Structure 1
């Protein structure tokens, strides 16, 4: 009975700060932040370069404030042509946008021999009146990049550019972007599958009023999205991005990921929340000590990275490993494995502390967090909150395809809108190379 009471009390004390529960489940409860005081004063720090609004070297328009033609004292004529600039002030603004119309005309001419010569329209000019690639790129950016519903995007196009474009037309441009970007996104998936470290996450997505699953595989330089009716290994195999992956896979301990034959790394942000819960609920000292050790190791790796050091000294790593495993031993001594009761079916239910200790021992990991994948999964969830569920599965797939491309472009220093303009001008960008690997520390028995 005491064990049952403890389990029920533990359930009530869990929130988004000390478990994997979402923040929406917290209600009005006040939670404790994992952040610690840095000791720095508020505001800009010493040595910080700062950033302020500066005047442009060359102005687009110059307006000179006129002087009076005569002196207001002696009434003599002033030599205005000899006046010198005393002070300059600039106003940065944007012009009122409007669409431009380009008219193409073909010409015809009959030679003296009677041969008729006619010029032709450009290959992309196929209709009597049509929209250009910049308009289509902006519209797709509004709906897929800035997550606006089609109706609101249609209103915004009218307000900004005086263009009366129907939501149906915007939807058609989304399908066009999907077709244009599919080869580029396939290349992104290939780059992700070859990366030495990949962050993965998944979340529910409402499509046709049914629960589907949004999957993302992310590196520091590439983002890939996919949607599938299943959440587990069936979806992973269907996508093919991680089917034969052999690098380091960073995730939140979702069971199907363990079926991928690669090196696994657990997100330490999730582990810190679980350790926070155990420190609050168990009264034992080792969870807080483990948190302090993990954060100290993370800070040590960050310092080394800022100094340009590619590897932490082995002696320091060995000290972290020794401390880590000593705390595991301490925790397991206080939380032994429960023995199955005679006559009961199935395995004995273990405590939260024992399960966490087993994961910490079995899966010593890098990098420190899975924030790359969690940030990537956040925007599609925002899209769903703004616009509701996707009406068709094809629409959800188009969103995943289009979203993969501009988010990867952003990681390469290219604006999302510029990347979409390139695609609608039949020159979609290719992003080759996995870039810098951001890692923490690796705990390994071989050290």
Structure 2
């Protein structure tokens, strides 16, 4: 770098030449400074994208890859003791009152010390072993009798309903295949292998697929009734997730309550799928969802998932140092705990009490104050003159959502049975994602639709405490148990 010349030694002509040379550089410095600001903002946005994970955004855990974020709970340290909480029933293996088999272990006839004959023995201790019997398939042969009357008329007995072929698999075998493959996400190949290992029953992969198709056909009417049951409910949860079908992206749509689960698969994600499947268009209760715009266009009341808000606020606090985000997280978490404490049975908060309503007003006032602070720290980006709305930051977008849909954010405190989160729908999506991980994709759209039917039925029966395997057995016998829609 050259040293600055002594200006006193320069002539007027030399100074004028130096000014003419440096003057254009002033504009270049301003231009470079502006470019540097733009580049710094871009770098900050890119670094923010790299910091996004399943703990601070709506990204699924599968997108975290090998770099899993450290688990971090929003619970306050020391708030609850470790281990099972008070009132939790717990479960452990205990002795049966009537064992199936008793094995007696006798003492010797003579005393090992004095060799005298021992008196009658008594039971000093009992121990029980819970195990499975030898699993082996059994073959039932049906004989259709025939008799010819003296008049020449032939009488032939009929086989039972469902016995249609010379050789076939029975309802329990078909239920086991469907239970493993569809409900527990075991691949078709491994399902066939397990049938051989468990029961010594040779089964081909085509047989597993045939049983799946038969099960879906049987359960389709029941699943349609489940969908209508969800539509008639006061509160329902909705979510959607990508599903690979026939090498193309399709969408799994979920509509669920605490006791009912309905799933459907469609090539489209938004309004066209809603029109085709119709259920969401019919729903008029409170729909809990993640704030996706097509849901907001539905003609019903809405409740936003606050767990999504907490994740986004975590990102703003930890990655962008937005202090207001921490205050909002603390407020929403406190409101959720307060609502739970005021529930007598976990579902019916005392909404009519003056104390409860007063607390709600105070929390809402604090909520508005925090939003005002956030809006002051994150002004809306001005229009650039280009077509469309100017792009806003993540903080501005979240602040706008929390401000524009305040009633939907707080509906969990103002209406009975509306929960704080959309976990009911998100939990419903998990097993289909596991199924897709195991199989890679669904090869055909009918195969994906069959899965949705069977999984909807199994998830519903599980929620209602039924034995899923026995329910499938009854279904293959022609009488599927019906869930409760009350």
What TM-score, normalized to structure 2?
0.83
Q: Residue 389 in 1 paired to residue 441 in 2?
A: yes
On the 8 A contact 1:187/1:430 being kept in 2, the answer is no
Q: Structure 1 residues 284, 381: CA separation in 2 closer, same or farther (over 3 Å shift)? A: closer
Which residue matches 2:391? 349
Structure of higher RCO (CA pairs closer than 8 Å, 6+ residues apart)? 1
Question: For 1:127, which of 165, 177, 180 is the aligned residue?
Answer: 165
How far, CA to CA, are the matches of 2:236 and 2:223 in structure 1?
16
Report if the CA contact (8 A) 2:324-2:373 is conserved: yes
SS state of the match for residue 282, structure 2? coil
Aligned counterparts, 1:275-286, within 5 A? 275-286=313-324
TM-score (norm 1): 0.90
Q: Which sits farther off after the overlay, 113-122 or 421-430?
A: 113-122
Deviation at 1:62, TM superposition (A): 0.6
CA RMSD of aligned residues (A): 2.2
In 2, are the aligned partners of 1:17 and 1:34 still within 8 Å (CA)? Answer: no
Counterpart secondary structure, 2:280: coil
Counterpart of 2:106 in structure 1 is: 66
- 3-state SS in 2 of match to 1:225: strand
Partner deviation per Cα, 1:211-260 (whole Å, 9 max, x = no partner): 11111111111111111111111001100111132221111222222221
Deviations 1:163-198 (A, max 9, x none): 101110110111101110110010011011112211
* Aligned-residue offset at 1:345: 2.8
2:83 corresponds in structure 1 to 43
Superposed, 1:162-201 pairs within 5 Å as: 162-201=200-239
Report what 1:216 is aligned to: 254
- When structure 1 is superposed on structure 2, of 277-286 and 383-392 the one drifting more is 277-286
Q: Aligned pair in 2 of structure 1 residues 145, 117: CA closer, same or farther (>3 Å)?
A: same
User: Quick check: 2:226–2:485 contact (8 Å CA) kept in 1?
Assistant: no
Please give the alpha-carbon distance, in whole angstroms, between the structure 1 residues aligned to 2:430 and 2:87. 34
- SS of 2:98's equivalent in the other structure is coil
Q: How many angstroms apart in 2 are the aligned matches of 1:33 and 1:83?
A: 59
Residue deviations 1:1-42 (CA, integer Å, cap 9, x gap): 254454344333332222223334445264562433441443
Give the 3 Å change call, closer, same or farther, for CA 111–74 of structure 1 in structure 2. farther
Moved more, 14-23 or 84-93: 14-23
Distance 1:65 1:286, change over 3 A: same
CA distance in 1, matches of 2:107, 2:323: 78
**Unmatched runs of 5 consecutive residues or more in structure 1:** 435-447
Secondary structure of the structure 2 residue equivalent to 1:188: helix
Label 1:324 to 1:112 Cα distance change in 2 as closer, same or farther (>3 A): same
Alignment partner, residue 362 of structure 2: 319
User: Who is 1:86 aligned against?
Assistant: 124
1:15 to 28, 53, 63: 53
Q: Choose which of 389, 402, 406 in structure 2 pairs with 1:360.
A: 402
- Matching residue within 126, 143, 162 for 1:105: 143
Q: Aligned pairs, how many?
A: 431
Structure 2: gaps spanning 5 or more residues: 1-36, 413-418
More helix by percentage = 2
* Superposition deviation, residue 88 in structure 1: 1.2
